[in-house]
A = this chain, B = another copy of it.
Amino acid sequence: APSRSARPKICCPAITPEGTREEPTMQFLLEVVEILTSYIKKTFDKSTKVLDFHYPHQLLEGIEGFSLELPDQPESLEQILVDCRDTLKYGVRTGHPRFFNQLSTGIDIVGLAGEWLTSTANTNMFTYEIAPVFVLMEQLTLKKMREIVGWPNGEGDGIFSPGGAISNMYSVMIARYKYFPEIKTKGMAAAPRLVLFTSELSHYSIKKASAALGFGTDNLILLNTDERFNSCFILFLCSCLQGYVPVYVNATAGTTVFGAFDPINDIADICEKYNMWLHVDAAWGGGLLMSSKHRHKMSGIHRANSVTWNPHKMMGVPLQCSAILVRERGLLQGCNSMCAGYLFQPDKHYDVTYDTGDKAIQCGRHVDIFKFWLMWKAKGTVGFEQQIDKCLDLSAYLYSKIKNREGFQMVFNGEPQHTNVCFWYLPLSLRHLPDGEEKRERLHKVAPKIKAMMMESGTTMVGYQPQGDQVNFFRMVISNPAATRSDIDFLVEEIERLGQDL
């Protein structure tokens, strides 16, 4: 019948594992690599667009035959290759030097190679038994990170987790376990009302953790900061809290929007006075510890009890790569261990303290360490330092370029501490309006409009948001060492081109 003869010749079940030695299978994989390397080359070619935007309904309808539906019958290998091409075509090039939309950008070739190897090895971090090399790499890298934080001899503990939010959640769990270990078995009912502190500009994951872990978001006190952390207010609150026990303060090293650094030493003094856990959320700022020029911004970080540090942000490691570091050994294990017999047999023939899985809230845990380890080998500590200094230099260039430029207005005073540069762009029609509600309302709509046009033209991407009573402004961040001054110039001119006549 004609419909039968139209069926593809190479059908995927041909790639059974038994067939792996055969030519078509390896040929398929190499053709995928061809697609990927060609994608990478284009990503670094600035004449390529950052994205080719489509609305959800367009993609769902199936543009140019690209169907997202899952079939009952197998598709041909040729079709799978087409699907791979289409997936990349309609996606966003986060490695493009003009993609400034998130804290994680760029594409590091050695990191990428590391991730390809990781998925080929396809193993799990829970035991030394099935991940001997990766477990040791994790251990050595965590120790190095703790040394850089400044804990004596790099002593302490830690684990790589699936992102900064989970790392921050760990910090709250460990703090609770340190002061009220009985909560593990008896629940929150066994403890007095516990209070946590963070600044209102801190990452929302602290709030998520306080909800998830049973503290309740009402018991997380959000400190007003005026861009900087008001440590005096904690002092005041601690002294007048009645019937509540303050246990935890999160200091942010590099806030998400402003890139501000809380004064760690001031906060550490208060934590010592009131016997509270000091966590430093350096998910974004941690990379600056690699820079002798910038690490002073985190002065006092060695006094923290725990630190979140995401190499997948400022250090350019492919997603995901986030570490929670803990100064005191044993707490992670004590807090989370459940001693599952089928994984953590005590009678193994090697030292089972290398089986780190029971420290985690996860069971299976993705291998996030290898790409980071490999990049460190390839760049050396000095390479990371250069890369980070370069990004900060670029943001200083942006700041000096727009701080007095016609139509641009900075959101906060002074030089940015991190690569975050926050600004409003005022179209011509708004520049001579008197300050007031009308101007605010109109300005609030400018950034979303420019952003929408940017995405539709696909030339560049940058984030925006309101913050407190400040209407929508652009937040520029730079974490991709491939970006250059000409990309910064381009962004500024593109905003002017798109927004001038709004």
In the assembled complex, A21 has its CB within 8 A of some CB on chain B: yes
Contact of A122 with B95 at beta-carbon distance under 8 Å, contacts A55-B350, A215-B187 already known = yes
Partner of A383 from the list B74, B216, B338, B380 (CB cut-off 8 Å) is B74
Q: With contacts A59-B133, A363-B205 known, is A140 near B70, CB below 8 A?
A: yes
Which residues between 2 and 61 of chain A lie within 8 Å of chain B, taking CB atoms? 12-13, 15-18, 20-21, 25-26, 28-30, 32-33, 35-37, 39-41, 43-45, 53-56, 59-60
Whether A452 sits at the interface, judged by CB under 8 Å, is yes
Instruction: Name the one of B90, B217, B350, B382 contacting A133, with C-beta atoms under 8 angstroms.
Output: B90
Binary interface encoding of chain A residues 380-391 relative to chain B, with 1 for a CB under 8 A from any of its CBs, else 0: 111100100000
Contact B379 A74 (CB under 8 A): yes
Q: Is A153 an interface residue (CB 8 A)?
A: no
Interface residues of A in 331-385 (CB under 8 A from B): 335-336, 338, 340-343, 345, 347-351, 354, 360-366, 370, 373-374, 376-383
Question: Nearest Cβ in chain B — how far from A437, in angstroms?
Answer: 18
Contacts of A366 in B (CB 8 A): 162-163, 319-320, 366
Contact present for A464 and B345 (CB under 8 Å)? yes
- Considering only CB atoms, which chain B residue lies closest to A372 in the complex? B70
- Contact for A319 among B79, B122, B140, CB less than 8 A: B122
User: Do the beta carbons of A377 and B208 come within 8 Å of each other?
Assistant: no
Contact A136 B448 (CB under 8 A): no
Chain B nearest Cβ from A81, distance in angstroms: 9
Contact with B along A426-455 (1 / 0, CB 8 A): 000000000000000000010010011001
Which of B101, B116, B361 is in CB contact (< 8 Å) with A130?
Answer: B101
Task: Report the Cα distance A73→B384, complex, angstroms.
Answer: 10
A75 interface residue (CB < 8 Å to B): yes
- A77, A120, A166, A456: which has the most chain B beta carbons within 10 Å? A120
Enumerate chain B residues within 8 angstroms of A37, measured Cβ to Cβ.
26, 29-30
CB distance from A425 to the nearest CB of B (A): 16
Is A144 located at the chain interface by the 8 A CB criterion? yes
Known A-B contacts A382-B74, A455-B129; the reply to A208 vs B361 at CB < 8 A is yes
- Of the candidates A90, A189, A312, A456, the one having the most CB atoms from chain B within 10 angstroms of its own CB is A189
The residues in A between 266 and 323 inclusive whose CB is less than 8 angstroms from any CB of B are 312, 318-320, 322
A169 in the interface, Cβ–Cβ < 8 Å?
yes
Contact of A80 with B110 in the complex, beta carbons under 8 Å: yes
Question: Complex: how many Å from CA A216 to CA B182?
Answer: 8
The answer to whether B165 and A216 have CB atoms under 8 Å apart is: no
Beta-carbon contact of B133 and A87 below 8 Å: yes
Interface centre among A119, A203, A452, by most B CB within 10 Å?
A119
Q: Mark A156-188, 1 if CB is under 8 A from B, else 0.
A: 000000111110010001000000000111111
Q: Which of these, B75, B472, B475, contacts A377 with CB under 8 Å?
A: B75
Evaluate contact between B338 and A208: CB separation under 8 angstroms. yes
Contact A379 B163 (CB under 8 A): no
Known A112-B29, A212-B361, A216-B185; contact A56-B136, beta-carbon cutoff 8 A: yes
Beyond A39-B120, A80-B374: 9 further Cβ-contacts under 8 Å?
A28-B109, A29-B40, A68-B136, A88-B117, A187-B188, A187-B214, A189-B193, A203-B340, A319-B364
Q: List 22 A-B contacts (CB under 8 A).
A: A15-B109, A17-B106, A36-B116, A54-B132, A68-B133, A70-B376, A71-B380, A80-B113, A88-B121, A101-B129, A104-B122, A162-B166, A163-B363, A164-B364, A165-B362, A185-B216, A190-B216, A204-B338, A204-B363, A213-B213, A213-B214, A345-B464
Give the 8 A-B residue pairs with the shortest CB-CB distance, closest first.
A214-B214, A187-B216, A17-B482, A349-B452, A188-B188, A12-B378, A115-B119, A162-B162
